[in-house]
Amino acid sequence: MSMAYQPGSDDPSPSLHFACTSCGKCCTGLRLPLSVSEAITWLERGGRVEILCDAAPDMPFPEGSAEAYRAARAVPAISDQLPLTLSATLTAVFEGPCPNLQADMRCGAYEIRPNACRIYPAEVRPDRRVVPTEKLCPSDAWDDAHPTFMEPAQGVLDMETANAITRSRHAGIDDVGRKAGLLAALHIDQAALANEGYAIWKPSLDTLLDRLRAVRDAQDGTAPDRLYVEILSPRAETRQMIAEAQGVDAVPDSTRGYDYLPLYG
């Protein structure tokens, strides 16, 4: 007997079954993470891309942890005497439906859609489990009559999704040097404290596309070994903590070309 996923339950079965219902909810009002090559394609098609930046102290983390995953994909940086890892996430941004979403709720750029679109509703980070009630998909997308999507011991069984996850993880590491060059070229030198907020840098379409093409095509590294960065926080106690750690703190300043997005109320 078919059984739809019941909102509020933890795990109705030892495996997850899934099929897209073309509801369009996962294609509406998003910040969509992109690789460098995906950001170039998005911009070339007239889309909007911003750069979310946050920084964390550079320190060892347990293998497989969320912190270790983030640090491996971050740019080496320094704030006065405080070594940092600077995470720079290229994001496609749109209000309302994705510009590629057609009236029939199908993707108009399906063959060149970003890996993030190919992965959903799975998770790219290995430390995160898929919880259907936390996804935008309706409950009938998780009906047991659908193909098996994930098994607890084997992970994602759908090969297209699994391959997209692998590509995304590799791109996150491969793009570190390119992102270092991009941040240096754009003179991005302020970032929010990780887990507290993001500095959202908004270069013009033409400028960002030009710099992305340059770092994509560069044969040699053009960025310094460590980028200099000031750590942003609207909270006086956080700025004091940064100063005591021998870093350089700053109050968010939108006149610098970014918005500050706090992660708390």
Buried b (16+ CB within 10 A) or exposed e, 205-226: eeebbebbeebeeeeeeebeeb
Decide if pLDDT at 13 tops 80. Answer: no
Least confident of 77-86, 111-120, 124-133: 124-133
- What's residue 28's pLDDT? 93
Mean pLDDT of the region 199-225: 89
Q: Is the dihedral of CA 265, 67, 132, 114 positive or negative?
A: positive
- What's residue 220's pLDDT? 65
CA separation (Å) from 69 to 87, 99, 112, 221?
A: 11, 31, 26, 23
CA 193 to chain centre: 16
* Farthest CA pair distance, the chain: 63
pLDDT confidence of 152, banded at 50, 70, 90? confident
Mean pLDDT of the region 213-238: 88
**What average pLDDT is seen over the chain?**
91
Residue 148 has which token pair? 């098996």
Residue 77 has which token pair? 């940086």
Mean pLDDT of the region 243-255: 97
- What's residue 30's pLDDT? 87
| Number of H-type helices and E-type strands within the chain | 7, 13
Q: Are 86 and 191 in contact (CB under 8 A)?
A: yes
* % the chain with pLDDT above 70: 92
Q: Are 198 and 252 in contact (CB under 8 A)?
A: no
What is the phi-psi region of residue 46: left when phi exceeds 0, alpha when psi lies from -120 to 50, beta otherwise?
left
- Collapse the DSSP code of 36 into the 3-class scheme (helix H, G, I; strand E, B; otherwise coil) and give the result: helix
pLDDT in tens, 154-179: 899 999 999 999 999 999 999 999 99
Mean pLDDT of the region 41-66: 95
Decide if pLDDT at 6 tops 50. Answer: no
Residue 13 has which token pair? 């079965």
Query: Residue 136 class from Cβ within 10 Å (0-12 exposed, 13-18 middle, 19+ buried)?
Result: middle
- What's residue 12's pLDDT? 43
Instruction: Kindly report the number of other CB atoms within 10 A of residue 101's CB atom.
Output: 18
- What's residue 264's pLDDT? 81
Q: Are 126 and 64 in contact (CB under 8 A)?
A: yes
